[in-house]
Structures are given as structure tokens and as C-alpha cells.
Structure 1
Amino acid sequence: MSVLWAALAIVFIICLLNLVLTVAVIRRLREHTELINRGGGHPPGQEEITLPAGARVGEFSAVTGDDRTVTRDDLRPGMLVAFFSPRCPTCEEQKPAFIRYASGLPGGRDQVIAVLLGSPEELGGLREELGGIAQIVIEGDVDGAMAAAFGLRGYPAFCLMGQDGVLQVTGFKVDVLPDSVAL
């Protein structure tokens, strides 16, 4: 009989240990989910995903999908510049809000630039989806000309331009952008 009690005690201890480990894993997964939802997983304390509002964008030259060259001098007040990657779950979550916001901007797609980060093969669907509302610039990664000029440290990133290439508003969620844009 004592062997049976010993076996039951061992099973009980193993189940209790399993329960404690499961709770720890669930807690850690919640922390990771929270980090991802706060902006593509940038480190805590690093709230700026691009240069901060008030900073001037660096010099750059990029070519849009329409074979138009874009430089810092082409960034007009009220213009929206967004950075997306197809490998980013937060980008996918923010895309519908971005499409709604960009579609409502006066000036149409001439007032919006979407910088897509990744290989041309993986960007096909994203390019099709955003091409009707934005000028598309494709860059390989965060070391591309526009990403470097904007100080991109993660994605998605949304930048509303002010005067003379100065960032008016920046953030990793569309809801940081003002309801209406004065041009």
C-alpha cells in the first residue's frame, strides 16, 4: 500500500510542477504579445520607431513603382510616409486603418508614400493592396535610403510631414495621426 501512496505522491508532484511551468510559459507569452502589439517588438523604453517629431528627415533619393524619383524636397506638409514589411504581424493589423486614413487624405495617392521593406517576391500582394492609395517605394530592409533618412528602427511606422522635411507626427500605430490634416 505504501508503494501506491508513493507513486501517487510522485504523480501529484509531477502534475504540480507541470502546472507551475505552464503558468510561467503563459505569463511569458503574454509579455511577448504585449511587446509585439506595442510596435513590432521594439525594446521597452524605445518609444520612437523613427526620428522623433520635430526632427528633419535626412537626405535621400528613392524611385517609386511609377519610376518617379522622390527626395526629401518632395515631402510636402501633410504628406504621409509609412513603412511596412510583409513579415510583420503588427503591419498586417495596422494596414486596414492605414488604408482608411490614407484614402481620406486630400490629394489622393500623391500625398502618400508607402515604403515596403522586403524582397520584390514577398512584397507582391502588399504592393497590389497599397498601390491604389500610395506611391510605392521598395527597399530591401531598414538600411535602404528612405529607411535610413527617417531613422527607421522598426515597423510599421507612420510619419506625417511638416514644413521643410520636418516630421510633424510619428508613431507605430495609425491612431497617432491627427483626424484631419491641414495642408
Structure 2
Amino acid sequence: MSGLVAIVVLVGALALLNLLLTFGVVRRLREHTELLADRVPASSPEPPSLPVGRRVSAFRGATTGGEPLTHDSWPGDTLVAFVSPDCGPCRERVPSLVETARLWPGGRQATMVVVIAGPDASTEYAELLSPVARVVVEPPGGPVAAAFGVAAFPLFGVVDRSGRVLRSTLEPSTLLLQDAAQA
């Protein structure tokens, strides 16, 4: 019986020691969290965007329908979009992009969507967007995305006839609101 009491006391002591060590670790983690919070700037970096005011570099491409597309082929203020089927936020915004493109002044000719993916992965987006936009499919780092300086997705913007980025956003429907406000 005394052996059983000794084992229970030993297990109890080990449990108490484990509890004290756990509290010590939690306390140190809180201290480290506070120290790291003081070192990291409070403001988060700017979200990715098309640089407003930047002129798009020269490029040559073709739409999924075979239409040639260059930096000189914009009829006026053109809605541009960069999306990827592998991107969760892109999937969320594609319905809004389709509706924005459908309502965009200038219609399909004044709307360009660049789908960053391989030919097989881009089929769904190309079929969905082709009725309302000129769709370009290219691999990551392709000529159109490179000309715009795109490094993240989704991105939406408006480019004027000369190739200067007028507006940029992460939500396509806001471009319609901005366009109406400027009219």
C-alpha cells in the first residue's frame, strides 16, 4: 500500500512540475510576442496594385479568338484585369468582373482580361469572359503581365489610349463607380 501512495505522490509531483513549466513557457511566449510586436511596423504594406500613372510597356499578344493585341490597340479608357484560376480571391471576383465588363463603356473592345495559367487550366475563365472581354491567356511572367508589372492577382484597372494606368483596384465593380463619378 505504501508503494501505491509513493507512486501517486510521485505522479502528482511530476504533474505539478509539468504545470509550472508550462506556465513558464506561456509567459515567455507572451514576452516574445510583445517584443516582436514592438519591432514590426504597425501599418501593413500596401496591397498589390497596378501603379497609377505608370505607362504600360510595349507588348504583343493575341486573344483566345486570335485577335492581335498590342499596347496601341486600346480604343479609349480600357478596363484591364489580371486573374488566375489558381487564385482563391480571383475565383471570388470573377462574377463581379463579368458583370463589370458587361456594363463597361466601350463594351468588349474596351475590356481586356489576362488569364495567367496554362491553356488547359484557363478554359473555364476564357469561355466565361470571352463574350464580354478580349481574353488573353499566358503563362506566369508572360508578355502582357510583364508589360503591366503585375506580380500578384487579382488586379483590375483602367488604362487610357496612351497606355497610362488611370485607376487601379482589387474589386472590379468599384471601377464602374469611379467611371460614373468622373462623367
TM-score (norm 1): 0.74
CA RMSD of aligned residues (A): 2.8
8 Å CA contact 1:76–1:164 kept in 2: the answer is no
- Aligned match of 1:171: 169
8 Å CA contact 2:64–2:126 kept in 1: the answer is no
* Rg (Cα) greater in structure: 2
- Going from structure 1 to structure 2, the CA distance change for 1:96 and 1:12 (only over 3 Å counts) comes to farther
- Aligned match of 1:139: 138
Instruction: Measure the CA separation in 2 of the matches of 1:82 and 1:64.
Output: 14
Instruction: Measure the CA separation in 2 of the matches of 1:62 and 1:53.
Output: 23
- Going from structure 1 to structure 2, the CA distance change for 1:154 and 1:11 (only over 3 Å counts) comes to same
- Aligned match of 1:113: 112
The alignment of Structure 1 onto Structure 2 pairs a total of residues equal to 160
- Going from structure 1 to structure 2, the CA distance change for 1:96 and 1:11 (only over 3 Å counts) comes to farther
Tell me whether 1:8 sits opposite 2:7 in the alignment.
Answer: no
8 Å CA contact 2:100–2:173 kept in 1: the answer is no
Give % identity: 26
Counterpart residue type for residue 9 of structure 1: L
Q: For structure 1, which runs of at least 5 residues remain unmatched after alignment?
A: 28-43
- Going from structure 1 to structure 2, the CA distance change for 1:118 and 1:7 (only over 3 Å counts) comes to same
TM-score (norm 2): 0.74
8 Å CA contact 2:97–2:173 kept in 1: the answer is no
Q: For structure 2, which runs of at least 5 residues remain unmatched after alignment?
A: 1-7, 34-43
- Going from structure 1 to structure 2, the CA distance change for 1:16 and 1:60 (only over 3 Å counts) comes to same
